[in-house]
């Protein structure tokens, strides 16, 4: 029994070390491609970007999720990304990359335009947010009207 426990502990350490070395062998470009290609992560970041755009556009009428909800949401996304192999620094570099942020901003704008919403028209964005809240959509469930 003791030998089995030692073997399992050894395998856990080996798996941990293997994951760490795999992440170290990934370039930042590979990490970026991996995170973009993982819907659970990228769609989550996309949803957060839409909510941020709405909250920034509608500070007088729409409340974003509270701080605890945001922390829990991003921690969940971080854990999903981390399980793919990249280390914390690589994940942060991806999220903080200016070109990646611009790419996401353009995706948000494209999404809103497809919904017949001018992303630069605050009144239109706020009306869209109110509609999403009323519909109880995935985005609407995370927002609150003031």
Q: Which pLDDT tens digit goes with each residue over 68-83?
A: 999 999 999 999 999 9
pLDDT tens digit sequence for 25-34: 899 999 999 9
| Domain contains 90 | yes
DSSP calls for 41-98: HHHHHHHHHHHHHHHHH-TTTEE---HHHHHHHHHHHHHHHHHTS--HHHHHHHHH-H
Residue 122: how many other CB atoms lie within 10 Å: 16
Evaluate whether residue 19 is within a structural domain.
Answer: no
* Range 96-102 average pLDDT: 96
Q: Within a 13 Å sphere around the CA of 101, how many CA atoms are in the beta-carbon half?
A: 8
Is 15 a domain residue?
A: no
Is residue 48 situated within a structural domain? yes
Rounded percentage of the chain residues whose pLDDT exceeds 90: 82
Structure-block tokens of residue 15: 């798996």
Total structural domains in the chain? 1
| Structural domain that includes position 123 | 27-145
Q: Dump pLDDT digits (tens) for 117-142.
A: 999 999 999 999 999 999 999 999 99
**144 φ, ψ (degrees, to nearest 5):** -140, 140
Mean pLDDT of 91-96: 97
The pLDDT confidence band at residue 24, using thresholds 50, 70 and 90, is: low
Q: Is residue 21 part of a domain?
A: no
* pTM recorded for the entire structure: 0.80
What is the pLDDT, as a whole number, of residue 19? 45
């Amino acid at each position: 029994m003791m030998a089995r426990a030692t073997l399992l502990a050894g395998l856990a350490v080996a798996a941990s070390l293997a994951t760490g070395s795999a992440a170290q062998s990934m370039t930042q470009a590979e990490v970026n491609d991996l995170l973009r290609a993982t819907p659970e992560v990228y769609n989550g970041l996309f949803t957060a970007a839409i909510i941020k755009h709405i909250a920034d556009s509608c500070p007088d009428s729409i409340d974003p999720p509270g701080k605890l909800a945001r922390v829990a949401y991003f921690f969940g996304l971080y854990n999903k990304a981390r399980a793919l192999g990249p280390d914390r620094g690589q994940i942060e570099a991806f999220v903080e990359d200016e070109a990646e942020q611009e790419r996401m901003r353009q995706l948000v704008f494209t999404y809103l335009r497809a919904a017949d919403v001018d992303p630069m028209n605050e009144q239109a964005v706020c009306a869209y947010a109110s509609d999403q809240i009323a519909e109880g959509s995935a985005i609407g469930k995370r927002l609150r009207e003031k």
